[in-house]
Structures are given as C-alpha cells and as structure tokens.
Structure 1
Amino acid sequence: MSLSDGQRSTGVVAPADHVSLRRHNLAVVLRHIRDAGPRSRARIAADTGLNKATVSSLVAELVDRGLLREAESERGAVGRPGQLVELDGRRVCGVGAELNVEYLAVTALDLTGEVIIESRIPFDAAHLGADATFDRLAGLIEQAVAAIGLRGGQTVGVTLAVPGLVQSAAGILALAPNLGWESVDIVRAMTERLQEPTYHVSVDNEANLGALAAYAEFAAADPAAVRDLVLLTGAVGVGGGVVAGGQLQRGGHGFSGEVGHLPVAPAGGRCGCGRTGCWETVVGLTALLDKATDPDDPVRDVSLDVEQRLAEITRRAEAGDERTLAALADVGTWLGLGGAIVVNILNPDVLVLGGYFGALGPWLTAPLEEAIRDRVIAPDGGGCRVVCSGLGFTAAVRGGAQISLDSVFDDPTQVPTQVGASA
C-alpha cells in the first residue's frame, strides 16, 4: 500500500491506518479459511486479492496467535504442492449460556466449532426468581471457563440466551412473560456475579441464537443450499428465529421472532403475556402436557431434565397411548395453522423444528407439512421444506457460543501471540 503525500508529510495518519489495515486483513484471511476450508497461501492470495507476500505475513501472525495451523500439502496441484493452512483455535473458546423457564444450560465451543464442555440442569427459574437463577447460571459459566483454562484456552466471550424481548445493545431483558420478569439489566447482573470478567458478556433472544446455530448446521453441509430459514423452537413458550439471505433478522428494534404470540386462537386460554389465544397457549409444552397428562404425572415434574420427560412422552406415543397420541395430533393441527402463516409471510427455504417440537418431530412434522400444502398460497407450499433440528435443546447455547467467537473473526488481534501469552 502506497502512502499519499499528506500521509508522508504528517507522519501521524499512516501508522494508525497501517494498524487498522493489518487488523482488517487478518480478519479477511481468518474468515476466508473458516468459510472456504483449508487453503494454500497462494490460493488465499488469489481468492482474496491480497498479494502473496502479505498473505504469508498474515498467515504467520495468525499461526503465532494460535488461530491457524499448518495442514497437509495441497493435492492435485501443478508443480510444487502448496502447504495448506487450516483453522486451529484450540486455545480460543466462546461460551453460550441459556436461561429458560425450566432449565439452565451452558456450552463452550472452540474456534473450529468443537464442543469443549456442555451441561444442562433442570431449574425452575420462573418460581425461584431472578437472583437465584443468576447465581446458579454464573456458577455453571464459571465451571465452563475453568474447564477452558485447564486445557490452556482463553475465553473470549459469553453470550446469554433468554426467552423474551431483548435489547441486546443495552444488555436488557425487556420482557419475559413466561418468567414474569420485566426490565432486567441481565448483563450487569451476570457481570457482577462473574466478578467483572476480562471476556465480553452479552445477551440475545434464545430463538435468534438457535436460528444461527441451525443455519450453521446447513451451511456446514452446503453453504449454497439454504439462504432463508425460520426456526420454530418450542418449550414452555414458543419462539421464532429468522435468517434471510444468510443474515439474522432482528427487526427495527430487535424484537422480531415473537411468533408464539400470534393470535391464532382468540377463544383460547390466557397466555403468560396476559392476552388470550396466543399460539403458544395451544402448541407450547405446557399445552401439550395439559392435554396428555394428569396434574400429578411425573412427566410434569420440572426437577427432571426436559429430555427425560420428552423421552417418556415418546415412549407412550410409540406404545400407542391414545391420550398421548390425541394430544400430539391436536398440537400438530395448531402447529400447522400457525406454521402456514409464518411460511406465507416469510417464504423460507426451510422451516426448522427445534426444542420440544424437534424431539417429537415424528408426530408433529406430518400435520405441519399438510397445513403448509393446504394453506400456503404459493404453489407447492412455496418450496418450503420442514426439517427437525439435530441440535435439540443445545441450539441456543451453541448459537451463543458462535456469537461469542465472532469477535475473534472480526478482530484476531484480541488473541495474544503465543509468545505474549507465555510471557
């Protein structure tokens, strides 16, 4: 890069520009390896437009920071095979932590997406209150950070996933109807409990983060296959995350995706938000359990892990229990009604069922697909496919961990060189 006359004469602008330019180029190379896979230095230069000498210098620094590593030699190359480089990032981890109505969960991923630690515990947050919930969640996060440290890793961020309206930039949980919380400064509360950590703490809606994780699932298999995706995630409440053109859609004020409050059953029951007839009153997990079980049924015990409870529902359905099957059929009908509305509005490539919807997919997918065929005005359901997420109840925490790691792909210099780390 050549300097302008003004830059030569002042001697001030050039150094700052050089630092920011190098930071930018480091990010370009690191993101390219993430998205395109292992590449030789020559191939990186050709793909990015950077010159070969610059790429060699950038790769050397990224290797020194522990973000890239040498891989096998390039196969099928004409002439001398090039040495490939690939993501390393075993030293760098992001953490996702979920606070939901009936459970808490934490997952840590390294830069390559490998799960370092994953845990979930039953927790009745709605009745135990915010302080007890934050205390327990902070303990789980500290355990994850300690595990990362034991393997010589660095935690670069923690992203909190919560069920409700979130003002992410301010760190505020504006409203969580099913928790009964309003205007909670959740980032501040957690930062205090984590004793003002060196890593960044942020908060986002759990369905948004789940949608990012679901999109990453598809992108890993074929980046061009899916560009528009909607995740419907079911627990006590129902949320939706929307990815359009490969980008998460948050809406004008960050409150998009509250599909659980579509007024699909005006004569129905009262929702946690205070209104009647919201979609989640007829398709949420509480609605299913009300239809399928008695009040004293062990399946309703919130001290049991949610997946254990759903495994019992699955067992009963597979055994042909009439009440369970009738409840699933009713939920499936209502799921189809609201799902068709979502598809008519957004026309996604894929409608992904997450949370408990995905766990009970064998009974819920067919009525949803039928409703999309019958109620979506576009031919063939607008081309939308219905799939069940393979992430289960880990989607939100994995999406949170991915968000935490994004800061490294945006600015690799926040990770010290290995010489600096040792010092």
Structure 2
Amino acid sequence: MTHVTQDLTRADGAALPTSPPALRRANLSLVLRHLRDHVSRSRVDIAEATGLHRATVSNLVAELLERGLVREVGIEHVGAIGRPRRAVALHGAHVGALGLEINVDYISIHGADLSGRVLVERRVGFDTVGSGPDRALRRLSLGAREAVEAMRRAGAVPAGIGVAVPAMVDVARGVVTLAPNLGWQDLPLAARLSEALSTPGTPAVPVMVDNDANLAALAEHTSGVAAGTPHLVYLTGEVGVGGGIIVDGKLLRGADGFSGEVGHLPVDPAGDRCGCGRYGCWETKVGLAALMRTAMPEQAYQQDSGQDGLPVSDPEERAKEIARGLAAGDERMLAAVAQVGRWLGLGGSIVVNLFNPRVIVVGGYFATLAEWLLPHAQRELERLVVAGPAAQCRFVASDLGFGAASRGAASMVVNRLIDDPNTIMDPIPRQAAY
C-alpha cells in the first residue's frame, strides 16, 4: 500500500485516508472523476494527470473494467515512434441516475447512465401550486416510477434520484425549508418521495434534494455553453428567479446552504409584493410572471392556472408565443421585454459587483427570448458595474433549455456515486423489483 499512500499525497495534497479500503475508494474516485471530465484517456495519461503510480492505475482500471464502469475505446499512438496506448472511457451503462425537477407549472425528468447517455427526458405541465404538496408529490412519484421503468428497459438500474426544487433546501436532510412560489414550508421531500417509491423487500433508492438554480448551475458548468468556466452565475428564467453561483469551479452554498437567492434581492422598495411576502424583489421585475403581466396581461399567471391537477400552459410555450410576437414586431411585447431586460441588467450588476463572474448564463424563458432580451441587459450591466470594462462579464443564453435543473439533478447523483464508488462497485441486480 506504500505506492497508494504516496500516490494520493501527490494527487491532491489532502489528508490521507487511514485504512486500505479508504485508500482504494479514494483512488477509484480519483480515476472515475478524471474520466468523467475527459472523453477518454490512456492509463499513462491518467497516471500523469492524477499523480497515481502507473501500476496503481492499471490495477484500478482493471477493477473498473471488470465492474463495467469503464470501457476500452481504442488505441492511441503517441510520439514519433508511435507507442500504442489503449484508451478507456467512463461507461457504467447499467448504472442509472434519475433527475427530477418540480416547479410552479411543470415537472421535468432526465434519466441518464453513468457516462451521461440520456435514457429518458420529458416535461409535463402540472399546476403544482394549485395541487398542494400532497397531490404534487403523488404526481412526482408517478413520473419517477414511469422514468425508472423506462430506464430499466434501457438496461440501467437507478442508483439514486435527485430532485430540483425552486426553494431553500436543507440538503443534508432533504427538506424543503421554504418554497415561496410553491407555497411549501418544512416539507421532508426526500423522505416522502423515498417512501412513495419504496417496495417491500427491495432496498430504497437514495433520494437527494437541492435548489433548482444550484443544480442548473452544476449542469451548465459541466456541459453547458460555458462549461469549465471557473467563475459563473446561472439565473433561472421561471415564474420566480433563482441563482446558482460557481466560484473557483465549485458551487457556492454559504454557511447554511441557502446562497443564490438572488431573485429576492430588493431592487424596488415601492414595487409589487413578492411570493416571499416582501416587496420589490428582483423576480417581481424579471420573472416570467412579471413579463406576462406586461406583455400578455390577458394570459397572466393565476388567470389560466389548471384546477385539480389538469394540464396548464407550459412556460416554454408561453415564451415561444412571446417570441413569435416579438419577431412580428408587436410593440407592447417589445416594450415589455426591453423593460425586463433593463431590470435584468440592473440585478445582474449587483451579482457581478459581489462575485465578479466571467459569465452570467441565463436559462428558462430568458434563453428563449435572449435575442431581444440580452442586448438591453448587457447595456445596463456595463453601465452599472463598478469595475466597468475590467469586469469582462457577459450574459449568455443557456442551450440546455428548461431541462437544465433536472439534468443537474441527475449529475448530482452521478457526482455522489463517483465520490463514493463503493455504492456502485458491487454488481447491481438488473431485474430487481422497484
């Protein structure tokens, strides 16, 4: 074990695990994490990048190959003499990760395997607010069951479920502390969903819960338009507005895990009442509900909400309808979007002054209307940022659509599995009942 101990010290300089099983787990995680961040790598490449001894890497890769968590993808020739190196890539086709998002008027689902291969992806309109937490949880569990069956048919058994919620979340306990726009408070979502999905005689699938903007930010940092950018902010474009903040490549959570509530920045004390009970919050100026009130008052929120769980208008469809009006030159819509764009830039300038990100990625309806919205926002941002041009921050539109948070929820599961490979090192019973 001498090599392993020295390897881990060289890899990250952190405190060493104190037992052989812990050393093995840490090194397996290191290899899996490196392969997650790269398309494919040879054993030599992995050793050079991680600081692990080549013999250690060979043994670890052999174990991962045996478990079906990596696969060989071909031979690379390096250098003038063409030395062959057999490359490996993350695989795990039998290991599934299910991501769910429940928002004001829809439920989004994203199921993938360990390598990121998408197995199921869908979004359904649902009046979460009008349905109440009990009925909403029943609908969420139904969607989860259907997704699990679809993933099983594709050959992957979910090893975990992540849930994104527009809320302040106690991540450690899986409790929704406060979700102003849903009307939820102190809801043990992880425990409730796990119980709803449990089947006697089978192990419960772990359920994790986090804020939707945090998870969308993780998805953007991993695979979005600004992937790999170490300093970025993600803004949801929903009825409400949340923020996920990446600093030095890591999600900023704060002391209690409640950072990123940028939608409740007070920008207009004389403004409208927010769902949180306060007045003039940023989301009352830039949320989709605010835009609808100005651009399409006849279809504003709470005028056409579904009743008794009946389908409601999908927010993406609302945004596309506004986009059609903008393209046709509708003056009321153009004025409404310009106004929202200026408020978006004002709030964005506060975020930039605080965190100095390189990019602000906007999702949801912000991305759908980016062509008309972001020029106004960028001008206001540049006018109000204290550092001026030196800040070098720009707005960019996400290309992950309204599914960014559910994709991020699935990524949260994958990250948890990679951080603790022991949870997936034993063969998973492919035909186990759910």
TM-score (norm 1): 0.91
2:385 counterpart residue number: 376
The answer to whether the Cα contact below 8 Å between 2:289 and 2:301 also exists between their aligned partners in 1 is no
Rounded to whole Å, the distance in 2 between the matches of 1:413 and 1:29 is: 14
Q: Which amino acid aligns with 1:48?
A: T
Rounded to whole Å, the distance in 2 between the matches of 1:298 and 1:240 is: 22
Q: Which amino acid aligns with 1:156?
A: A
* Structure 1: runs of 5+ lacking an equivalent: 4-15
1:395 counterpart residue number: 404
How far off is 1:236 after superposition?
A: 0.9
Rounded to whole Å, the distance in 2 between the matches of 1:67 and 1:129 is: 41
1:6 counterpart residue number: none
* Structure 2: runs of 5+ lacking an equivalent: 4-17, 306-311
The answer to whether the Cα contact below 8 Å between 2:169 and 2:178 also exists between their aligned partners in 1 is yes
1:13 counterpart residue number: none
In the alignment, structure 1 residue 351 sits paired with structure 2 residue 360: yes
1:73 counterpart residue number: 75
Rounded to whole Å, the distance in 2 between the matches of 1:296 and 1:422 is: 47
Q: Deviations over 1:338-379 (max 9, x none)?
A: 111111111101011111111111111011110111110113
The answer to whether the Cα contact below 8 Å between 2:316 and 2:364 also exists between their aligned partners in 1 is no
How far off is 1:293 after superposition?
A: 1.5
Q: Which amino acid aligns with 2:282?
A: W
Identity %: 48
Q: CA 1:381–1:114 in 2, change beyond 3 Å: closer, same or farther? A: farther
What SS class does the counterpart of residue 81 from structure 1 fall into? strand
2:109 counterpart residue number: 106
2:36 counterpart residue number: 34
Q: CA 1:92–1:166 in 2, change beyond 3 Å: closer, same or farther? A: same
Moved more, 40-49 or 253-262: 40-49
How far off is 1:413 after superposition?
A: 2.8
Q: Which amino acid aligns with 2:151?
A: I
TM-score (norm 2): 0.89
Rounded to whole Å, the distance in 2 between the matches of 1:264 and 1:421 is: 53
The answer to whether the Cα contact below 8 Å between 1:68 and 1:85 also exists between their aligned partners in 2 is yes
The answer to whether the Cα contact below 8 Å between 2:288 and 2:365 also exists between their aligned partners in 1 is yes
Q: Which amino acid aligns with 2:211?
A: N
In the alignment, structure 1 residue 116 sits paired with structure 2 residue 156: no
How far off is 1:400 after superposition?
A: 0.5
What SS class does the counterpart of residue 54 from structure 1 fall into? helix
Q: Deviations over 1:285-344 (max 9, x none)?
A: 111111012335799745122222211111011001111111111111211111111111
How far off is 1:418 after superposition?
A: 5.2
How far off is 1:139 after superposition?
A: 0.8
Q: CA 1:419–1:135 in 2, change beyond 3 Å: closer, same or farther? A: closer
What SS class does the counterpart of residue 278 from structure 2 fall into? coil
Rounded to whole Å, the distance in 2 between the matches of 1:297 and 1:270 is: 16
In the alignment, structure 1 residue 314 sits paired with structure 2 residue 323: yes
Count of aligned residue pairs for this structure pair: 408
How far off is 1:66 after superposition?
A: 1.1
How far off is 1:86 after superposition?
A: 1.1
Rounded to whole Å, the distance in 1 between the matches of 2:282 and 2:431 is: 54
Q: CA 1:82–1:275 in 2, change beyond 3 Å: closer, same or farther? A: same
What SS class does the counterpart of residue 273 from structure 1 fall into? coil
What SS class does the counterpart of residue 160 from structure 2 fall into? strand
Q: CA 1:378–1:39 in 2, change beyond 3 Å: closer, same or farther? A: same
How far off is 1:284 after superposition?
A: 1.0
The answer to whether the Cα contact below 8 Å between 2:102 and 2:140 also exists between their aligned partners in 1 is yes
The answer to whether the Cα contact below 8 Å between 1:207 and 1:233 also exists between their aligned partners in 2 is yes
1:230 counterpart residue number: 233
Aligned counterpart in structure 1 of residue 211 of structure 2, from 197, 205, 208: 205
Rounded to whole Å, the distance in 2 between the matches of 1:370 and 1:2 is: 58
Rounded to whole Å, the distance in 1 between the matches of 2:283 and 2:133 is: 23
The answer to whether the Cα contact below 8 Å between 1:289 and 1:300 also exists between their aligned partners in 2 is no
Task: Trace 1:118-267 onto structure 2 (pairs within 5 A).
Answer: 118-195=121-198, 198-217=204-223, 223=228, 226-267=229-270
What SS class does the counterpart of residue 19 from structure 2 fall into? helix
How far off is 1:27 after superposition?
A: 1.3
Q: CA RMSD in A?
A: 2.3
Task: Trace 1:252-291 onto structure 2 (pairs within 5 A).
Answer: 252-291=255-294
Rounded to whole Å, the distance in 2 between the matches of 1:333 and 1:219 is: 23
Rounded to whole Å, the distance in 2 between the matches of 1:101 and 1:118 is: 19
Q: Which amino acid aligns with 1:316?
A: G
Q: CA 1:18–1:289 in 2, change beyond 3 Å: closer, same or farther? A: same
Moved more, 246-255 or 72-81: 72-81
The answer to whether the Cα contact below 8 Å between 1:158 and 1:201 also exists between their aligned partners in 2 is yes
The answer to whether the Cα contact below 8 Å between 1:210 and 1:395 also exists between their aligned partners in 2 is yes
